[in-house]
Amino acid sequence: MDSTQAIRRPTTLLLLLPLAWGALVAVVLGVYGGMHQPTGYAVSIAGFSGPLPMKAWLTTGAFVLAAVQLFSALVMWGRIRLNLPWIAGVHRWSGRLAFLLTLPVAFHCLYALGAQYDTPRVMIHSIAGCFFYGIFTTKMLALPRRGIPSWTFPVAGGLAFTALVALWLTSSLWFFTTIGVKF
Ligand code: HEM
């Protein structure tokens, strides 16, 4: 049995652990969000008139960076034929910045508001929020693992992008169309 066969057999096993950790992150956020007594405690960043517009714009920033991620991934995978040697760096940094922008928002959501399931919009939003961090964890833990099936990254990346689109539609778009486009 040559070494490539040895690597091939553990491939599925290698994927299972990142998936298990991702599922654990999503479930823990959901349970915390469901059991935690919402505090209503809110922080805001200078330049915004309050936590809601702050969250709506930070989420919009993460959404735009996620679109850069999608475009750069399509170039990296040769679906968009452009010769951009620096595109992998753009993909990595737009992903890191998008993730960082979500953190103060999700902190406010979970700590001040908790997970809520009373309306379809907020239910989809709460579930998409937990799922986003779960699939992001799975992708980041799978990245350094050799022998992982090659479809893992477009699938995990696609799911993370879809979750962020769902988060933006169920929060920022709702905010901009209900309360208004304001800072
Ligand atoms: C981690 C799990 C998350 C839970 C449980 C959660 C839950 C919530 C809830 C209950 C609200 C109030 C909805 C309302 O009454 O209008 C809310 C608002 C909001 N959330 Fe989240 N969220 C989560 C993650 C996220 C993430 C990751 C983002 C952005 C990337 C985000 C962006 C927003 C924004 C912009 C609002 C304010 C607009 C609104 O009220 O809908 N949330 N969230």
Residue-level pLDDT at 46: 77
**In whole numbers, what is the pLDDT of the chain averaged over residues?**
91
Q: How far apart, in whole angstroms, are the C-alpha atoms of residue 12 and residue 146?
A: 11
Q: Does the pLDDT value for residue 83 go beyond 70?
A: yes
- pLDDT single digits (tens) 91-109: 999 999 999 999 999 999 9
Query: Quick count: other Cβ atoms within 10 Å of Cβ 167?
Result: 25
Only one residue has tokens 């714009």, namely 57
pLDDT band at 113 (very low <50, low <70, confident <90, very high): confident
φ/ψ of 69, rounded to 5, equals -60, -45
Pocket test for ligand 1, best of 63, 165, 170, 171 (most atoms within 8 A of CB): 171
Single-letter code of the amino acid located at 96: R
Cβ neighbourhood burial of 33 (10 Å; 0-12, 13-18, 19+)? buried
In the 8-state DSSP scheme, what is residue 144?
A: T
Closest to 63 (Cα-Cα) out of 179, 178, 138, 175: 175
Ligand 1 within 6 A of CB of 59: yes
- pLDDT single digits (tens) 6-56: 555 667 888 999 999 999 999 999 999 999 888 877 666 778 888 899 999
Segment 167-182 mean pLDDT: 96
Of 108-117, 121-130, 152-161, 172-181, the least confident: 108-117
| Contact by Cβ (8 Å): 92, 68 | no
| Contact by Cβ (8 Å): 121, 170 | yes
Ligand 1 within 6 A of CB of 65: no
| Contact by Cβ (8 Å): 139, 26 | no
Closest to 150 (Cα-Cα) out of 1, 6, 14: 14
Token representation of residue 122: 């907020």
Nearest residue (by CA) to ligand 1, atom 23, is: 129
Tell how far the Cα of 114 is from the centroid of ligand 1, in angstroms.
9
Residue-level pLDDT at 25: 97
**The model's pTM:** 0.90
Residue-level pLDDT at 9: 61
Contact residues for 19 (Cβ-Cβ < 8 A; gap 6+): 138
Ligand 1 within 6 A of CB of 116: yes
Ligand 1 within 6 A of CB of 130: yes
